[in-house]
Amino acid sequence: MPAGSGTLWDLAVAEVEKRENAEGDGEGAEVSEKSVLFVGSKNGGKTTIILRCLDREEIPKPTLALEYTFGRRARRHNTPKDIAHFWELGGGTSLQELIRVPITSSNIRAFAIVLVLDLSKPNELWTTMESLLQVIRSHVNKILTKLGKTNPEVAAEIKQRMWNNLQKDHPDYELVDPFPLPLVIIGSKYDIFHEFDSEMRKIISKTLRFVSHYYGASLVGVDKSKSVALDHSRPLFIPAGLDSLHQIGPPPASESDLGKLHANTPLELWKKVFEKTFPPKSSSDLQYTKDPAQDLQYAEYEVDVMRAQKNEELDQYKRNASKTWKEMDFGLD
């Protein structure tokens, strides 16, 4: 489900604008700055997508922690340019505490989330998605709680926007749980995913369709598509609110297997079915263990020389301390 250069920006901007103007006639004050936070699988291609979106021909470097860049784009000729602030969280699920840095009460009204999931690693897919979205949702809910006390009208407006992609007469209105911020889900490494067994591809694709629909998210998979793409044998493209549980179908399991599963929500049921085929890795396997100080992309000669000197002093201290401790009489005789 590769993403193209124009799709991401268009979707993120359109999602935010749609929610901002849903309760008015669209003629109100124009918000010129918007923010997007990229989260997802480690080495899943987030940086590559951002560079494509900004039309930058650069070799992507691994993202160490939380990185920021921005871009400008004119809507029409001789009109003010939109400014997009791009934040990228590296390390997969290991640096979740940094999520609170870019999402604040001052920019939450014009903020969107892009979740990039590595389709070539289905055993990590659900854990990555669930962990990151839970942390973001918890942080956003705390912001909304504070806004509810200081600016209740804004808090109520943001909560109402959660439902703007789903009409009240939609058959699934009572069965979904929209994400509090505009959400776009991208499946990366489609070239590897395409080589999977057809049944495995179907399970992954249907699951992503369900998750996207459940959270009121857009599922991106093709370049600048003008129509919905639902064929599981090809990259999917489903804008938020244009899918349904009826079209997605039941979880990919037999009726007898479904009857044995105990779940409190549709999301929990799909999770159990998905993880039966793709058992999740332990959380420790997904942790980011690389030492940032050894990353060559952040090398600085003077800093590294000083660090090497301090490391040598520390090693010498340890050796001296070790000798001292061995010579000490602890009065144990």
Give the per-residue pLDDT at 294. Answer: 63
- What's the CA gap between 143 and 103, in Å, rounded? 9
- What's the CA gap between 280 and 300, in Å, rounded? 39
Please write the tens of the pLDDT for every residue from 204-258.
Answer: 999 999 999 999 999 998 655 668 889 888 899 999 999 999 999 999 998 888 8
- Encoding tokens for residue 16? 């935010």
Give the per-residue pLDDT at 83. Answer: 86
What backbone torsions phi and psi does residue 237 show, to the nearest 5 degrees?
-145, 110
- What's the CA gap between 140 and 133, in Å, rounded? 10
* Residue pair 218/183 in contact by the 8 Å Cβ criterion: yes
Q: Is 167 helix (H, G, I), strand (E, B) or coil?
A: coil
Please write the tens of the pLDDT for every residue from 269-287.
Answer: 999 999 999 999 765 555 5
